[in-house]
């Protein structure tokens, strides 16, 4: 049976929310002559809304924003404005990624390479637009490794974005995966809820924007995956018997999968037989 390691994009592959998307949103508004800027604290709240267009659209109900911009009463007219803003914001964001100014998070490429070498399929499931996801993936993983990813699934491919499980369900259907043999790497509660709703095991690598969120359902919560010789990773939560030593390895990944499948098997064996039959 195929094993799959599925990465979220923003905040997992690189700190692109703080250093990329937020910067691009604010630059776009300056270019538009709109007296509006998101602070890091404000954006940390907006990140809880899946999708950049949706985050901007929500400003239509913001009294402070309406004081500086004449939001139209028509939702379709407002959406058209947001779409135009988002197109320019995406261009700015892609330029930032291409410049190499935003490094990949520690251990991400190393783990992807070793997982691939050990028979894991690699995929990405994100709420961002496909062009943004592909740009980040190529930047962090390089063209050769990116070309070996089995699938790249983005927010504009599904009806509902995270915390809905749609993008993960799409990956399962397209790649013919068994959700119980998939491990997802997420950085937010929305992503965690999406992955677990799809029946997948989730490891969280938190960042500055998400570190205070509730990750109760995660199998493992880490500061990052780390690198040999660097400072040891921090473990915020561990519901497995896996004990990473300094940095996270593909052996740790295999053990998380085995641990999770064993837990599922135990849970099913304890269910009443009539429940199993239904």
Q: pLDDT digits over 120-178, tens only?
A: 999 999 998 899 899 999 999 999 999 999 999 999 899 999 999 999 999 999 999 99
C-alpha–C-alpha distance, residues 153 and 157, integer Å? 7
Q: Which of 8, 15, 187, 224 is labelled catalytic?
A: 8
**Average pLDDT over all residues of the chain:** 92
The active-site residue, picked from 10, 15, 166, 224, is 10
- pLDDT computed for residue 245 by the predictor: 94
Per-residue pLDDT tens over the stretch 37-81: 999 999 999 988 988 999 999 999 999 999 999 999 999 999 999
| Upper half-sphere CA count for residue 95 (Cβ side, 13 Å) | 11
Identify the pLDDT of residue 264: 54
Residue-wise pLDDT tens digits, 216-252? 999 999 999 999 999 999 999 999 999 999 999 999 9
pLDDT band at 101 (very low <50, low <70, confident <90, very high): confident
Dump pLDDT digits (tens) for 29-43.
999 999 999 999 999
| Predicted local distance difference test score (pLDDT) of residue 277 | 38
Q: Is 166 a catalytic residue?
A: no
For the question of whether the overall pTM of this predicted structure is more than 0.95, the answer is no
224 catalytic per annotation: no
Q: Does residue 271 register a pLDDT over 80? A: no
Q: Residue 179 is encoded by which pair of tokens?
A: 């959700």
């Amino acid at each position: 049976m195929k094993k799959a390691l599925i990465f979220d994009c923003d905040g997992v592959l690189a700190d692109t929310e703080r250093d990329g998307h937020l910067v691009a949103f604010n630059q776009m508004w300056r270019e538009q002559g709109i007296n509006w800027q998101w602070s890091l604290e404000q954006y940390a709240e907006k990140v809880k809304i899946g999708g950049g267009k949706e985050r901007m659209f929500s400003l239509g109900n913001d009294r402070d924003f309406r004081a500086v911009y004449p939001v139209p009463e028509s939702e379709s007219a407002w959406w058209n404005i947001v779409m135009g803003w988002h197109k320019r914001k995406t261009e700015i964001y892609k330029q930032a990624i291409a410049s190499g100014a935003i490094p990949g998070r520690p251990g991400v490429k190393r783990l992807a390479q070793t997982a691939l070498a050990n028979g894991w399929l690699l995929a990405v499931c994100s709420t961002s637009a496909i062009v943004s996801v592909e740009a980040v993936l190529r930047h962090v993983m390089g063209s050769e490794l990116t070309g070996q990813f089995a699938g790249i699934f983005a927010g504009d491919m599904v009806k509902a974005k995270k915390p809905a499980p749609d993008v993960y369900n799409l990956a399962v259907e397209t790649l013919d995966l068994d959700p119980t043999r998939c491990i997802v790497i997420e950085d937010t509660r929305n992503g965690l809820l999406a992955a677990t709703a799809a029946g997948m095991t989730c490891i969280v690598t938190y960042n500055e924007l998400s570190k205070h969120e509730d990750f109760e359902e995660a199998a493992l919560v880490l500061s990052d995956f780390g690198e040999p010789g660097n400072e040891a990773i921090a473990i915020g939560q561990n519901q497995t018997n896996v004990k990473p030593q300094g940095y996270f390895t593909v052996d740790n990944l295999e053990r998380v999968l085995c641990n999770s499948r064993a837990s599922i098997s135990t849970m099913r064996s304890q269910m009443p037989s009539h429940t199993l039959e239904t």
